[in-house]
């Protein structure tokens, strides 16, 4: 069954030419010369005043990167990227003086205001109410989000630092963590995504400029949502941020990530690395709303989003959950993964990917079951419109040792128009007999019976469809933290009726 | 994962190159065929043996699995023919017209080539190649073009095989059974190539068996069957792979299906050390209904890979794919199935299911069911599961006094049965179920 008009209309509203965040902030910036060499790597390291071992680590990565080739297995195509024609470091020029919110360039503050990201510590966001049964008590943090704002290559502001410090939570730019907690960074960085993991991750290891660092101590439930907002502003720059989140035994943290970029004719490269580490009984919830500039209606410009995200459920009973809403980028190449190392660990992946115009999405997840009785769940909804291609690519693997591993995967996709493509490429590898894997990619047509039932109870046909569809997409949307869910629901209240495979 | 692949040839690749240079002039066919062979071999030389970095061969690393290339099989001697004759008696007891190939060469005295029904012609591929048959050359390698390296290797070395033609509207009463027997006393390689053309409105059933019966079990077989199914034709093709324990068997079916046709494919695999069954099907006409199914039963260190590409290039076709594998000991099954729906193939209805049953802790099942969809008004889906026998079901049977082993066998038989039941020919269906039962008995 083809897509219903309501769906077509909804997707149209977020088509590439409707991109709202394409403005450029006029601000002077400090840039390293274009191109990549050992000198640039040294320059970035020196700029950040990094310890010697960090520089050595970067140089090691750079040398390895020189011997590597771009991966070609993904279902994306692009003209060759000239890695020498990119600025690897760009930072807004700032005057000397103490670093406080008041000191931030008003232009940058205005930018974030325009993007709807509050950098001033606003106590309560509008529209958001705590879930039933939980009142807005002091300390439970509903309605407040601590934000780390990354502008091109540097973090410009981090909010609610003091309050987080009270709980013992470290939330700061990774460049700052390298100054204040180098031993901790050294202990964990590169342990989930090794230096030579893949072409883009290795490039990132060599030139990463900033990103967030989070440490939640033993038994602490992080008092508020943590959030990083990434913004590419400068022309011809690449953004290479690195995020490292460690949840110590028995702790919990929810982390949100958002990203936008100005409209430019050339393609910009974004090669980030995110490493999550969950120790015993810890839980990390990582949510992304990815809305990089997707290019114009003819396929010109847009961000190449080549990202390596991986979580390591290192301890027993740990849990990592990825939720993503992907609407931006010219090309998305991204597979947030979970290494389920500890016994009883749990991995989750919830994704809605919507592609329009000439966008190419090749995204999915990897669930690597290594520990006993590890479980994972994958729910993925892909919607392709225009001339875009939308691929789900996922791996579920049970190691011979992973007795009792369980996975459930469900991926649906929907095509709007006959010039786009929707693809499903699951890899399911069971290496022991007690692993139970179930995978389905099903048509998600609304059943006549369900509709009849609703209509019999007095709902109009339209309301009945909306009701069923909301229930359908809810799988993913309900995984988003409240602050994001409101935004996401506005962004897509999309019907998946008539979706294919 | 991104390290450069060094262009060093493996021993097998070098041996194949030497072998090709030595035999290419002696292989059957006029200059035009010689050019085909040269082109195909150049393709192989640039790509080399497929390895795990080649996406389509990810789980069957031929570069690692094929340590050496066996010499080309010679003309079968009397002893080999005798062994083959003995082996024939043990084959599925289905009344069929047998065409027997021993070590890749057609053996007329073992085949039923007399009294062909009107509209049916059967010839030796080697002879037709040598004669430069125009009809053959018009079809060879063109029905479903592929750049697969195993097919290229077959084209370079192709020897004998069957060339079958069924005239329009002819319904064959008796199935045709192509039997490929490896009976040589020395391990050898065989490149069999067959072409079957079933014209519009015709009805035919084609069996294909691969058996090994010599002392040397590590034969290497590369078989290609090209099949054309005309408009409104009805064709069943059942392939039974029962090679010797050490055999390396790679087979490719390229099937082009016309409009309003019925096509049923079944792959039954129990034999062979390393087996790779490739099926490339293209639905080129509207309104065709197809069933593509298979069952694989593995034990020891057997490795069997089924790779299926079903391309819906025309509107309103229906296809059902069901694959089952049962894995004991260190058995490893691979299923890669891809359904492609081209932009104009609206109203396609395609469903694919693959299920693996792991009977031992050391078995492995790799599934990769893919969808590639470019049309917006279609129904496509796939499902994949893998796991052990359900304890509740076993308990239920045991509670009713059925011994554990027997209960297990019953459940396994039922599991495989779902795929086997898709075979329309009752006699053959029963014969295959018997084979499943025999496999289960041997397990005890």
Model confidence pLDDT, tens digit, residues B380-415: 889 999 999 989 999 999 999 999 999 999 999 999
Residue whose C-alpha is closest to residue A73's, from B285, B57, B334: B57
Indicate yes or no: CB of A430 within 8 angstroms of CB of B386.
Answer: yes
Of B360, B366, B376, the CB nearest to A415: B376
CA A395 to chain centre: 18
Tokens standing for residue B34 = 């010689």
Alpha-carbon gap, residue B357 to B326, rounded angstroms: 5
Indicate yes or no: CB of A68 within 8 angstroms of CB of B3.
Answer: yes
Q: Between A and B, how many residue pairs show a Cβ–Cβ distance under 8 A?
A: 144
Alpha-carbon gap, residue A120 to A118, rounded angstroms: 5
Q: Does A424 touch chain B (CB under 8 A)?
A: yes
A427, A429, A434, A439 alpha-carbon torsion, rounded to 10°: 10
Residue pointed to by tokens 């079951």: A369
User: How far off is chain A from B441, nearest CA to CA, in Å?
Assistant: 21
Alpha-carbon gap, residue B123 to B109, rounded angstroms: 14
Of A70, A73, A416, the CB nearest to B376: A416
Question: How many H-runs (helices) and E-runs (strands) does chain B carry?
Answer: 10, 19
Residue pointed to by tokens 């990917």: A353
Instruction: Give the pLDDT of residue A445.
Output: 44
CA atoms within 13 A on the CB side of B407: 16
Indicate yes or no: CB of B380 within 8 angstroms of CB of A443.
Answer: yes
Closest residue in B to A415 (Cα) is B376
Of B360, B368, B383, the CB nearest to A440: B383
Alpha-carbon gap, residue A326 to A304, rounded angstroms: 13
Q: Transcribe B190-248 into DSSP letters.
A: EEEEEEEEE-TT-EEEEEEEEEE-SS----EEEEEEEEEE-TT-EEEEEEEEE--TT-E
Sorted by sequence, the CB contacts under 8 Å of residue B272 that are 6+ apart come out as B210, B241, B242, B243, B244, B245, B247, B248, B249, B302, B304
Segment 181-210 of chain A within 8 Å of chain B by CB: 197-199
Q: Does A443 touch chain B (CB under 8 A)?
A: yes
Residue whose C-alpha is closest to residue B44's, from B66, B86, B16: B16
Q: Does A442 touch chain B (CB under 8 A)?
A: yes
Segment 2-21 of chain B within 8 Å of chain A by CB: 2-4
Alpha-carbon gap, residue A88 to B172, rounded angstroms: 71
> Mutating which of B369, B383, B391 best tests the A interface, going by the most A Cβ atoms within 10 A?
B369
Residues on chain A touching B369 (C-beta within 8 angstroms)? 424, 426, 428, 439, 441
Angle (CA) A279-A161-A271 rounded to 5° is 65
Residues on chain B touching A442 (C-beta within 8 angstroms)? 381, 383
Instruction: Give the pLDDT of residue A20.
Output: 66
Q: Where are the domains of chain B?
A: 11-283, 389-444
pLDDT range class, residue B268, cuts 50, 70, 90? very high
Residues on chain B touching A443 (C-beta within 8 angstroms)? 379-381
Question: How does the average pLDDT of chain A come out, rounded?
Answer: 79
Q: Does B365 touch chain A (CB under 8 A)?
A: yes
Q: Does B368 touch chain A (CB under 8 A)?
A: yes
Alpha-carbon gap, residue B273 to B246, rounded angstroms: 4
Closest residue in B to A423 (Cα) is B372
> Mutating which of B298, B383, B386 best tests the A interface, going by the most A Cβ atoms within 10 A?
B386
Indicate yes or no: CB of B369 within 8 angstroms of CB of A422.
Answer: no
Q: The whole model's pTM is what?
A: 0.85
Confirm if A291 and A256 have CB atoms less than 8 A apart: no
Q: Which residues are bridge partners to A439 per DSSP?
A: A409, B384
- Stated as kind and residue range, the H or E segment containing B282 is strand B274-283
Q: Does B367 touch chain A (CB under 8 A)?
A: yes
Indicate yes or no: CB of B4 within 8 angstroms of CB of A417.
Answer: no
Q: Transcribe A77-144 into DSSP letters.
A: --PPP-TTSSBS-EEE---SS---GGGS-HHHHHHHHHTT---S--SS-TT--PPTT----TTT-TT-
Alpha-carbon gap, residue B176 to B97, rounded angstroms: 5
CA B412 to chain centre: 23
Sorted by sequence, the CB contacts under 8 Å of residue A20 that are 6+ apart come out as none
Instruction: Give the pLDDT of residue A114.
Output: 64
Of A418, A429, A441, the CB nearest to B376: A418
Alpha-carbon gap, residue A409 to A500, rounded angstroms: 16
Residue whose C-alpha is closest to residue B267's, from B351, B191, B206, B349: B206
Instruction: Give the pLDDT of residue A63.
Output: 95
> Mutating which of A3, A70, A424 best tests the B interface, going by the most B Cβ atoms within 10 A?
A424
Alpha-carbon gap, residue A491 to A477, rounded angstroms: 11
DSSP, res A332: E
Alpha-carbon gap, residue A84 to A33, rounded angstroms: 10
DSSP, res B57: G
Largest CA distance in chain B: 70
Confirm if A329 and A290 have CB atoms less than 8 A apart: yes
User: Counting every residue, how long is chain B?
Assistant: 444
Closest residue in A to B362 (Cα) is A432
Q: Transcribe A132-197 into DSSP letters.
A: TT----TTT-TT-EEEEEEETTEEEEE-SHHHHHHHT-EEEEHHHHHHH-HHHHHHHTTSSS-TTS
User: How far off is chain B from A234, nearest CA to CA, in Å?
Assistant: 31
Indicate yes or no: CB of A441 within 8 angstroms of CB of B382.
Answer: yes
Confirm if A228 and A221 have CB atoms less than 8 A apart: no
CA atoms within 13 A on the CB side of B331: 25
* Burial call A311-323: b when 16+ CB within 10 Å, e when fewer: bbbbbbbbbbbbb
Indicate yes or no: CB of A400 within 8 angstroms of CB of B361.
Answer: yes
Confirm if A495 and A466 have CB atoms less than 8 A apart: yes
State the pairing for strand pair A154-158/A212-216: unpaired
Instruction: Give the pLDDT of residue B90.
Output: 75
Residues on chain A touching B378 (C-beta within 8 angstroms)? 500
Of A2, A429, A442, the CB nearest to B376: A2
User: Counting every residue, how long is chain A?
Assistant: 501
Indicate yes or no: CB of B381 within 8 angstroms of CB of A442.
Answer: yes
Confirm if B413 and B433 have CB atoms less than 8 A apart: yes
Sorted by sequence, the CB contacts under 8 Å of residue A201 that are 6+ apart come out as A193, A195, A271, A273, A308
Confirm if B325 and B358 have CB atoms less than 8 A apart: no
Q: Is residue B1 pLDDT above 70, yes or no?
A: no
Q: Does B387 touch chain A (CB under 8 A)?
A: yes
Of A198, A430, A431, the CB nearest to B1: A198
Closest residue in A to B337 (Cα) is A425
Q: Is residue B4 pLDDT above 70, yes or no?
A: no
Residues on chain A touching B356 (C-beta within 8 angstroms)? 430
Closest residue in B to A395 (Cα) is B368
Share of chain B above pLDDT 70, in %: 98
> Mutating which of A11, A398, A430, A442 best tests the B interface, going by the most B Cβ atoms within 10 A?
A430
Instruction: Give the pLDDT of residue A494.
Output: 40
Flag residues of chain A having pLDDT under 50: 1, 95-99, 121-143, 443-445, 493-501
Distances (CA, A) of B313 to A422, B287, B316, B340, B419: 16, 11, 10, 8, 25
Tokens standing for residue B240 = 């039974």
Give helix A482-491 / helix A461-477 axis angle, nearest 10°: 140
Tokens standing for residue B420 = 């086997």
User: How far off is chain B from A30, nearest CA to CA, in Å?
Assistant: 34
Instruction: Give the pLDDT of residue A145.
Output: 65
Question: Which three-class secondary structure state does DSSP give residue B405?
Answer: helix
Instruction: Taking residues B322-330, report their average pLDDT.
Output: 95
User: How far off is chain B from A74, nearest CA to CA, in Å?
Assistant: 10
Tokens standing for residue B377 = 């008004």
End-to-end CA distance of chain A: 12
User: How far off is chain B from A424, nearest CA to CA, in Å?
Assistant: 5
Tokens standing for residue B87 = 């082996």
Residues on chain A touching B377 (C-beta within 8 angstroms)? 1-2, 498
Q: Which residues are bridge partners to B228 per DSSP?
A: B197, B256
Instruction: Give the pLDDT of residue B106.
Output: 96
Instruction: Give the pLDDT of residue B311.
Output: 96
Give helix A199-207 / helix A52-66 axis angle, nearest 10°: 150
């Amino acid at each position: 069954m083809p897509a219903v008009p309501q769906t077509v209309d909804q997707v149209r509203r977020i088509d590439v030419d409707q991109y709202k965040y394409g403005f450029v902030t006029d601000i002077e910036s400090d840039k390293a010369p274009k191109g990549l060499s050992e000198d640039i790597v040294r320059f970035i390291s020196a700029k950040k005043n990094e310890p010697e071992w960090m520089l050595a680590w970067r140089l090691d990565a750079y040398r390895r990167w020189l011997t590597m080739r771009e991966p070609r297995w993904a279902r994306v195509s692009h003209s060759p990227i000239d890695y020498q024609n990119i600025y690897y470091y760009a930072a807004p020029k700032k005057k000397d003086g103490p670093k406080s919110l008041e000191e931030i360039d008003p232009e940058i503050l205005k930018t974030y205001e325009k993007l709807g990201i509050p950098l001033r510590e606003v106590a309560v966001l509008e529209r958001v109410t705590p879930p039933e049964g939980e009142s807005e008590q002091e300390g439970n943090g509903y309605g407040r989000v601590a934000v780390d704002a990354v502008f091109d290559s540097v973090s410009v502001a981090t909010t609610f630092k003091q309050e987080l410090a009270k709980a013992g939570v470290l939330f700061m730019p990774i460049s700052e963590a390298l100054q204040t907690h180098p031993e901790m960074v050294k202990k964990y960085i590169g342990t989930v995504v090794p230096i030579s993991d893949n072409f883009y991750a290795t490039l990132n290891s060599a030139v990463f400029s900033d990103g967030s660092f989070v440490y939640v101590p033993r038994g602490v439930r992080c008092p508020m949502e943590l959030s990083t907002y990434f913004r590419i502003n400068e022309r011809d720059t690449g953004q290479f941020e690195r995020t490292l989140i460690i949840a110590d035994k028995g702790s919990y943290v929810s982390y949100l990530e958002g990203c936008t970029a100005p409209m430019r004719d050339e393609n910009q490269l974004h090669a980030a690395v995110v490493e999550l580490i969950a120790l015993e009984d810890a839980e990390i919830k990582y949510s992304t709303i990815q809305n990089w500039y997707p290019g114009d209606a003819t396929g010109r410009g847009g961000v190449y989003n080549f990202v390596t995200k991986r979580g390591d459920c290192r301890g027993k009973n740990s849990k990592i959950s990825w939720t993503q809403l992907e609407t931006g980028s010219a090309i998305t190449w991204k597979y947030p993964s979970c290494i389920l190392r500890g016994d009883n660990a749990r991995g989750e992946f919830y994704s809605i990917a919507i592609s329009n115009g000439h966008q190419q999405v090749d995204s999915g997840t990897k669930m690597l079951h290594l520990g006993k009785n590890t479980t994972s769940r994958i729910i993925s909804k892909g919607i392709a419109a225009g001339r875009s291609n939308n691929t789900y690519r996922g791996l579920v693997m049970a190691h011979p040792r992973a007795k009792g591993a369980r996975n459930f995967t469900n991926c649906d996709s929907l095509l709007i128009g006959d010039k786009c493509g929707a693809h499903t490429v699951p890899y399911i590898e069971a290496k022991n007999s007690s692993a139970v894997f179930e995978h389905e990619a099903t048509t998600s047509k609304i059943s006549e019976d369900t509709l009849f039932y609703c209509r019999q109870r007095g709902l109009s046909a339209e309301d009945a469809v909306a009701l069923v569809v909301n229930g359908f997409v809810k799988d993913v949307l309900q995984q988003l933290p409240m602050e994001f869910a409101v935004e996401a629901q506005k962004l897509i209240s999309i019907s998946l009726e008539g979706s294919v495979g | 994962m991104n390290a450069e692949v060094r262009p060093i040839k493996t021993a097998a690749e070098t041996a194949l190159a030497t072998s090709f240079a030595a035999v290419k002039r002696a292989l059957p066919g006029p200059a035009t065929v010689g050019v085909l062979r040269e082109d195909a071999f150049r393709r192989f030389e640039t790509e080399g043996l497929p390895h795990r970095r080649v996406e389509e061969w990810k789980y069957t690393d031929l570069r690692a699995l094929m340590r050496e290339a066996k010499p080309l099989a010679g003309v079968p001697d009397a002893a080999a023919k005798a062994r083959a004759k003995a082996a024939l008696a043990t084959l599925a007891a289905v009344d069929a017209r047998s065409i027997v190939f021993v070590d890749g060469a057609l053996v007329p005295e073992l085949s039923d080539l007399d009294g062909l029904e009107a509209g049916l012609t059967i010839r030796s591929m080697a002879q037709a190649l040598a004669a430069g048959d125009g009809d053959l050359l018009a079809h060879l390698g063109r029905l479903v073009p592929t750049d697969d390296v195993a097919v290229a290797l077959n084209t370079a070395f192709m020897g004998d095989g069957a060339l079958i033609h069924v005239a329009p509207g002819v319904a064959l009463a008796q199935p045709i059974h192509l039997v490929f027997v490896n009976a040589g006393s020395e391990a050898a390689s065989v490149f069999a190539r067959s072409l079957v053309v079933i014209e519009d409105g015709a009805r035919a059933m084609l069996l294909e068996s691969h058996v090994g019966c010599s002392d040397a079990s590590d034969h290497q077989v590369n078989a290609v069957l090209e099949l054309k199914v005309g408009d409104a034709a009805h064709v069943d093709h059942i392939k039974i792979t029962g090679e010797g324990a050490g055999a390396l068997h790679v087979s490719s079916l390229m099937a082009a299906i016309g409009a309003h046709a019925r096509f049923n494919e079944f792959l039954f695999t129990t034999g062979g050390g390393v087996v790779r069954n490739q099926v490339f099907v293209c639905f080129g006409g509207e309104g065709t209904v197809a069933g593509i199914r298979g069952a694989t039963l593995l034990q020891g260190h057997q490795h069997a890979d089924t790779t299926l590409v079903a391309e819906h290039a025309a509107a309103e076709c229906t296809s059902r794919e069901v694959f089952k594998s049962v894995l004991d000991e260190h058995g490893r099954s691979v299923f890669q199935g891809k359904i492609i729906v081209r932009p104009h193939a609206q109203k396609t209805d395609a469903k694919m299911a693959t299920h693996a049953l792991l009977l031992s802790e050391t078995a492995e099942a790799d599934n990769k069911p893919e969808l590639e969809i470019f049309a917006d008004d279609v129904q496509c889906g796939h499902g994949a599961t893998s796991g052990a026998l359900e304890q509740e079901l076993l308990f239920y049977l045991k509670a009713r006094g059925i011994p554990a082993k027997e209960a297990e066998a019953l459940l396994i038989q039922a599991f495989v049965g779902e795929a086997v039941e898709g075979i329309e020919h009752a006699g053959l269906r029963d014969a295959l179920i018997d084979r499943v039962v025999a496999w289960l008995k041997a397990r005890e």
